[in-house]
Amino acid sequence: MRQWRSIAKEAIDRASIIVKFLCLLHVTDAYVVSSNHVLGPSMLPTLNITGDVVLVEHLSHRIGKLGSGDLVLVRSPLDPNRTLTKRIVAMEGDRVTFSLDPTRSFSSRSLVVPKGHVWIQGDNLYVSRDSRHFGPLPYGLIEGKVFMRVWPPNSFGLLG
């Protein structure tokens, strides 16, 4: 009987360690840093069309440390099941001038980014669906700041 108690205690201790590790892993992934696979041509030449794996930190946007020029991972306002990687072009209160069709610059519009919003655009304006199409992005849809490319190995390094 003592042998079974010893085995059960050992199993519970090991299971407890595994559960604690998984909890730590979840908290780290959700609130500190995570990886994300970015595909598509909208961020050319900054990110590759064939796909890059980037690291995203989840602290800056929570403490208000984002600014124009930062790459961010955002929840799509058109499809909540998708995430987008774009560059912040303007913060709340900034005036932004844009054209829906970059080939026809004479048809530009101008607006002031409202409070609690940012203006995001892809680096490749010709194929990017961004704030020019869906308007200013609510700050709450920002999931994190992209700060490093980890794949492919020949492009490893800091972004921003």
Q: What is the pLDDT of residue 54?
A: 92
The model's pLDDT over 84-123, given as tens digits with 9 standing for 90+, comes to 999 999 999 899 888 877 776 667 788 899 999 999 998 8
Q: Contact, 85 vs 47, CB < 8 A?
A: yes
Mean pLDDT, residues 45-60 = 88
Q: In the chain, what are the domain boundaries? A: 32-159
pLDDT at 160 over 70: no
State the catalytic residues: 42, 86
Q: What is the pLDDT of residue 105?
A: 63
- pLDDT grade for 64, boundaries at 50, 70 and 90: confident
pLDDT at 81 over 70: yes
Q: What is the pLDDT of residue 73?
A: 94
Mean pLDDT, residues 29-49 = 86
Neighbours of 17 (CB within 10 A): 10
Q: What is the pLDDT of residue 19?
A: 92
Q: Give the domain 32-159 fold.
A: Umud Fragment, subunit A (2.10.109)
Mean pLDDT, residues 20-28 = 90
| Distance between CA atoms of residues 123 and 86, nearest Å | 8
Continuous segment of H or E residues that includes residue 151:
strand 142-151
